[in-house]
Amino acid sequence: MPRVGVLALQGDVHEHVTRLQEIHADVVLVRRAHDLEDLDGLVLPGGESTTIAHLLNTSGLRSALEDKLREGLSVFGTCAGLILLCRDVLDGRHDQWSYGVIDVAVRRNGYGRQIASFEASIDVPGTGTVPGVFIRSPKIERCGVEVEILATHDHGDGPDPVLVRQGNAWGCSFHPELTGDPRIHQLFVNSL
């Protein structure tokens, strides 16, 4: 049974834990650096990216997680988690930072503010159609050559990558944890 941590500082923690438990992962809540030990993978949840980044600093987790990512820890970031994993935040605050482990450029709230939230069917080859919940979601505007695009969504201006992978780092623009469908989590866990 894979041992998967969920960063439990802010955001959709409970929802990710529920999806992971549905697929029988051994789930660990990560709040301190020692919680990162002996994990097979880690989920960075949706929430507010600048708040999560601040809490990573104040909890002492920022550098510990950076070390683990450098050592090859598998990671899956959804929404705000994707922002924390991307190479470039196009419209971030002056103090915005990210780990840069997925060579993508994202725009925060790229699909619009809270009032513009929407749901869409996302076709994931080999998995089928999954529900996608987009709430203040980042929009991936550039992908590096080593980034594998696993799914796209056309929101009217051409297909945008919404599920990507670079090595052991996964990023998702939408919120699979809010749908009740664990298949995106299963894809990540199957890769561990």
How many Cβ atoms sit within 10 Å of the Cβ of residue 31? Answer: 15
CA distance 107 to 46: 15
**Which amino acid is it at 105?**
A
Q: Among this protein's residues, is 175 annotated catalytic?
A: yes
Query: What is the Cα Rg of the chain in Å?
Result: 15
The H-or-E segment that residue 152 falls in is strand 148-154
The residue from 15, 16, 153, 177 that is catalytic is 177
Helices (H), the chain: 13-22, 49-59, 61-71, 80-85, 183-190
The residue from 16, 153, 175, 185 that is catalytic is 175
What DSSP string runs through 91-120? Answer: T--TT------EEEEEETTTT-SGGG-EEE
Burial class (CB in 10 A: 0-12, 13-18, 19+), 65: buried
3-state helix, strand, coil in the chain (%, to 5): 30, 35, 35
**Secondary structure of residue 63 in the 3-state scheme:** helix
The residue from 79, 86, 153, 172 that is catalytic is 79
Q: Among this protein's residues, is 79 annotated catalytic?
A: yes
Catalytic residues: 79, 175, 177
